[in-house]
Amino acid sequence: MIRRATAVSIVLLLFAALGAPAPAHADEIPYVTTPNAVVDAMLSIAGVGARDHLIDLGSGDGRIVITAAKRFGTRGVGIELDGELVARSRENAAREGVSDKVKFLKQDLFASDFRDATVLTMYLLPEVNQDLRPTILFELRPGTRIVSHDWDMGDWKPDGKQVIPTPGKTVWPMEQSTVYLWIVPARVAGYWRGTLAGPDGEERVAIEFAQRFQETSANVWLKRWAMAGAGRIHGNRVSLRLDRSPWKPGSAPLRFTLQVRDGRIEGEASDGQERFVLRAKRVVN
């Protein structure tokens, strides 16, 4: 809380120093609107479409939710603490003809359930993003897209990033905005047991995955040999490159594309000549 309060104070001091009007709802996260060009970039980097369910945390005048509904027919929810802004958002939605697609809730985002989102948007504060990180990583479904205006997620590196010139933007960082995208990675860390089927038949395997956000490394043990490698997690999909040279000197690595779902991981590696199929079940988290 102290660190968040410090960040809020810095933002408010910047407002004061710039002679900008004091944010209307400044007790925590100030009300500052995302420029329309940045709203467009946020929706575009996330590839928002008609089948998405978009939730904007701290929705202000509702512009992100309303723009998505108007452009793409996206269903959306804005969560906003300030009752006046909620009322304004509802008026804006009615004026734009999207009241049937969107909802605005007068609610504290920290006490809200946003597990239904397929896209989560936010323009909050750096410390608040950090506070939300455990909920995002452990409660949202793998594959959920998270888009943040200007503030990153610390050492959780983004899967996408775009800088947009915003002439006339008077809050820091001025004259430009950055849009960040993260894809919630499936959790693979832990121990798995299963089988590896290849040209020489099928063998039992034990796998240990380590994971740091969307990056992973793995050890795969077979009866008489082992493979190690690293990869990337994109929602439920894991791309894993396993080195088998200690076992077969000079051989190319196996490049697996695996799907993770309900405690199971499976997929294949194929180089045109040899095909390997890996299937395993999680045994220990």
28 near ligand SAM, rule: CB under 6 A:
yes
63 near ligand SAM, rule: CB under 6 A:
yes
Specify the residue, 34 or 216, whose C-beta has the smaller distance to ligand SAM: 34
Which tokens hold the place of 52? 């998405």
In the complex, least distance from residue 160 CB atom to ligand SAM, rounded to whole angstroms: 18
59 near ligand SAM, rule: CB under 6 A:
yes
36 near ligand SAM, rule: CB under 6 A:
no
254 near ligand SAM, rule: CB under 6 A:
no
Binders of ligand SAM among 96-115, rule CB under 6 A?
A: 108-110
Write down how long the chain is.
285
Among 4, 7, 31, 131, binds ligand SAM (CB under 6 A): 31
In the complex, least distance from residue 180 CB atom to ligand SAM, rounded to whole angstroms: 13
Task: Give the residue at shortest CB distance from ligand SAM.
Answer: 58
In the complex, least distance from residue 41 CB atom to ligand SAM, rounded to whole angstroms: 12
Bridging pattern class, strands 176-183 and 145-149: antiparallel
Among 104, 123, 151, 156, binds ligand SAM (CB under 6 A): 123
Q: What are phi and psi of 200, to 5 degrees?
A: -95, 15
Specify the residue, 88 or 187, whose C-beta has the smaller distance to ligand SAM: 88
Specify the residue, 177 or 216, whose C-beta has the smaller distance to ligand SAM: 177
Asked if residue 68 lies in contact with residue 76, where contact means CB atoms within 8 angstroms, the answer is yes
82 near ligand SAM, rule: CB under 6 A:
yes
- Cα dihedral: 83, 128, 56, 112 (round 10): -70
Asked if residue 171 lies in contact with residue 32, where contact means CB atoms within 8 angstroms, the answer is yes
- CA triple 100-183-148, angle to 5 deg: 65
In the complex, least distance from residue 213 CB atom to ligand SAM, rounded to whole angstroms: 24
Specify the residue, 106 or 264, whose C-beta has the smaller distance to ligand SAM: 106
90 near ligand SAM, rule: CB under 6 A:
no
**Footprint on this chain of ligand SAM (rule: CB under 6 A):** 25, 28-34, 56, 58-60, 63-64, 79-82, 85, 108-110, 123, 149
